[in-house]
Amino acid sequence: MALVLAWEAASRLGLWRPWVFPSPSAIGRSLWSGVVDGSIPRGIATSLRRLVIGYLLSLVGGVGLGLGLARSRTLRESLGTIVTGLQALPSICWLPLALLWFGLSESAILFVVVAGSLLSITVATESGVSNVPPLYVRAARTMGARGATLYLRVILPAALPSILSGMRLGWTFAWRSLMAGELLFVSGGLGQLLATGRELGDMARVMAVMVAIVTLGLVTEVLFFKQLDARVREVWGTDRA
């Protein structure tokens, strides 16, 4: 709070140009204006729809691929290095390829979101499954667990803390990929609002949209990931450590 007040005071004293670095009050007015005229709620709804669809695709694909890499030596030797290498590739690099394949469409943005988040979930899942104590697997097999039952009742629950970390990273990378895609061509969503503010030289609008994005990230962390993490810790008993 003190930092915000100091920022407001410095802006009012003219220590910098307001159109380059607007005051908190100017950002607040722009944010409220965007809420009242509906542009920010519409942008949030459009971006969240794309984000949720792309993230769910990444989650299903990433957990499946990570599980396969951890349990199949053949798959690990053939795809493991490729997955590790592609993870270092910034998600924005996939956009030209997506535009060539899908054109200026929703599919192009979803492809970039999936490409940006899937590999982090894959790597985390592979690491978690690979580090499941072999004793758990042997004990489960001794009690008759086989096939899907072994994976659903023993291996995946044991790897869940690592998978949850990958889910968090995947969500963050999905946001970044989505904003990169929306910024580069007119498509609706919060990215378009950022691009519009930049083109109009309206830095208050740009920072207001940034505030909205940060708020959405915090809300998701508090209402979903923290609750899920607390539940996992409770089941594992680590919250009593």
Report how far residue 139's alpha carbon sits from residue 158's, in angstroms, rounded to the nearest whole number: 13
> Whole-model pTM above 0.95?
no
What CATH architecture is 28-235?
Orthogonal Bundle (1.10)
Q: DSSP string spanning 22-91?
A: --HHHHHHHHHHHHHTTHHHHHHHHHHHHHHHHHHHHHHHHHHHHHHHHH-HHHHHHHHHHHHHHHTS-G
Give the pLDDT score at 157.
Answer: 82
Give the pLDDT score at 236.
Answer: 66
Domain ranges of the chain: 28-235
Give the pLDDT score at 143.
Answer: 78
Give the pLDDT score at 227.
Answer: 82
pLDDT digits (tens, 9 = 90+) for 48-83: 998 999 999 999 999 989 888 887 888 887 887 888
pLDDT digits (tens, 9 = 90+) for 1-42: 777 677 667 666 666 666 667 777 888 888 888 888 888 898
Give the pLDDT score at 55.
Answer: 92
pLDDT digits (tens, 9 = 90+) for 140-194: 777 777 777 777 777 788 888 888 888 888 898 898 888 888 877 657 788 888 8
